[in-house]
Amino acid sequence: MSCPYTNFKNKILDYINILRTPRDEYGGLPACPFVGAELDKGKLMIDKFDPNESTLLDKIKEFDALYEGHEYDSALFVQVSDEVLSNVDTVSYQDFINRTMKENGLGRYKCICFNPNDKLDINGFNARSHAPYFLINIATRDALDKAHKTLSKTKYYNNMNERYLKYLHKSKDDSKKEKI
Mean pLDDT score, 32-46: 95
Q: What angle do CA 134, 66, 5 make, to 5 degrees?
A: 30
Q: Share the mean pLDDT of the chain.
A: 90
Quick one: 63 exposed, middle or buried, by C-beta within 10 A (0-12, 13-18, 19+)?
buried
Quick one: 83 exposed, middle or buried, by C-beta within 10 A (0-12, 13-18, 19+)?
exposed
Supply the pTM of this predicted model. 0.89
**Contact criterion met (CB below 8 Å) for 126 and 161:** no
Name the residue among 23, 35, 37 with its Cα closest to residue 156.
Answer: 23
Spatial distance between the Cα atoms of 61 and 110, rounded to a whole number of angstroms? 13
Name the residue among 22, 20, 21 with its Cα closest to residue 39.
Answer: 20
- What is the helix, strand, coil percentage profile of the chain, to 5? 45, 15, 40
pLDDT at 176 over 90: no
pLDDT at 104 over 80: yes
Give the pLDDT score at 103.
Answer: 98
